Amino acid sequence: MGQSHTAFRFSAGRRVIGGVRRWITAAAGALALTAGLVTAGPPAAAAGLTQVTGFGTNPGNLSMYTYAPDGLPAGAPLVLALHGCTQNAQDYYAHSGWPELADAYGFALVFPQTSSANNANSCFNWFESGDSGRGQGEALSLRQMVDKALSLYGGDSRRVHITGLSAGGAMTANMLAAYPDVFAGGSIASGLPARCASSVSAAYTCMYSPPDRSPAQWGDLVRSAAPAGTASWPRVAIWQGTADTTVVPANAGELRDQWTNVWGLGQTPSRTESLGAGTSRSVYDDSSGRPAVEVYSVSGMAHGLAVDPGSGPGQCGSTGTYYLDTVCSSYHTARFWGLDGDEGTGALPAPTGLTVARTTDSAVFLSWQAVDGAASYVVHRDGTRVGTTASASYTDSGLATGTTYRYSVAAVDAAGAAGRVSSAVSATTTGFTPTCHTASNYDHTVAGRAYQSGGSTFAKGSNQAMGLWNTFTRRTLKQTAPDYYVVDDTGCPA
């Protein structure tokens, strides 16, 4: 499955690959070619990616590529990132934003890769039971990659995560179901519920008109795929564009039903938040108040992975085919998993009563209830650790005026392990940051910074005279408050 209704392009005949028989249909291939979707050419390991061989018996005939930041310490997390149809490991490495986050937060990456030898459209075979069940085919190859990467980088087996786009997302869901003992968390982007299909025809049905099963029925599919007696489940993020016509948005609802049921939760979110760029996040907390399932809905986004190119806070990734400029899903997923520096692996509970005591133009004053057994506390601003304190209060200074920030806190035990993260609170600093604008008098009026009267121009708010209303007279205005501008041609930079 993947980036178009031509998700399963096959060549005629019947093949045997890695001991797994696959039916391959020529008609779907013709449809793909008609749509202009040409299978990606043979990939090569590009700068930054390292191909790893000899990672096991590899019954799924996959390739393994890795990326690790320089100086990665032992005990770091590990993330598997699965590409979509017509893509490859290098494509996902270049656009998804995961390498930037690995550099920032310190974790290793594995980019598994399938090929046209397995599937003529280079899709992971999520709809083949022989490739998506525990101990079989591609699923086992992916499991073997985990073991190899943990050995190579000395990673923490408790902090292994998996994510994927489209067909990679569907395979991610199946891996979370088959290996809940391996993965601490997963993220399914434009994907489908675990075990939704076991044939090509059923795959198309799932993509366009997913079965309307009850939450318990969806949950049973996961429980039956997992080892008997499984009681601990991965935390799951679900990403979906509302304008996706390849994997229809109803799949996100079925995924939510499936994983909330697995967690023993209802389908009413604990809270819903806006992330901007038309993106909402619905959070389903577990019994301890920690997010277990999160559903991200991106308004107006078609089929693909949400990225947000740039170097600002929360930005990552780059645009490309099926990499769509909205918000950076990889950044928000990494924070959901705790890869930003606080996985919550310690035993201490989340601090309660986090409160914004007061704010100034450049500082926020926080306080919370002390946690028994806490040696210290870590404070996060907008998902990034900004400080530690031994007391149940913290002052965050050096902030921009008139700006909103979001804070959370975790208690740290004597061994240095951070516990669960508190619920977040928002704080807005006071004041207003002046801005300067140099333009013609005509352009100032068009932008709403000034107005014209009787052929002359006046600054909005201060009503200071600016000269004739034309495109030749240029002035600099400084905004000192909302809708208030003063003339400042000498001291305000252009």
**Which amino acid would we find at residue 173?**
A
344 CB-contact burial (10 Å; exposed 0-12 / middle 13-18 / buried 19+): middle
Q: Among candidates 340, 239, 349, 339, which has minimal Cα distance to 289? A: 349
Mark whether 297 is an active-site residue: no
Q: Rounded to the nearest 5°, which phi and psi values hold at 51?
A: -80, 135
What's CA 67's distance to the chain center, in Å?
18
Residue 389 and residue 360 in contact, taking contact as beta carbons nearer than 8 Å = no
HSE-up (13 A, CA, CB side) for residue 275: 26
Q: Which two tokens stand for residue 472?
A: 């030749």
Please tell me which residue in 166, 330, 408, 423 is annotated as part of the active site.
166
Name the 3-class secondary structure at 282: strand
DSSP labels, 426-460 = EEE--S---EEEEEEHHHHHHTTSEEEETTEEEET
Q: How far apart are CA 485 and CA 476, in angstroms?
A: 10
**Which amino acid would we find at residue 283?**
V
Q: How far apart are CA 240 and CA 188, in angstroms?
A: 9
Strand 418-421 versus strand 404-412 pairing type:
antiparallel
Largest CA distance in the chain: 85
Torsion of CA 335, 339, 342, 343, to 10 degrees: 100
Q: How far apart are CA 335 and CA 258, in angstroms?
A: 22
Residue 15 and residue 22 in contact, taking contact as beta carbons nearer than 8 Å = yes
Q: How far apart are CA 205 and CA 31, in angstroms?
A: 17
Residue 52 and residue 150 in contact, taking contact as beta carbons nearer than 8 Å = no
> Crossing angle for the helix pair 98-105 and 329-337, nearest 10 degrees?
40
Torsion sign across C-alpha atoms 462, 465, 469, 473: negative
Strand 78-82 versus strand 108-113 pairing type:
parallel
Residue 406 CA: distances (Å) to CA of 279, 287, 384, 494: 17, 23, 10, 32
Name the 3-class secondary structure at 246: coil
> Catalytic residue numbers?
166
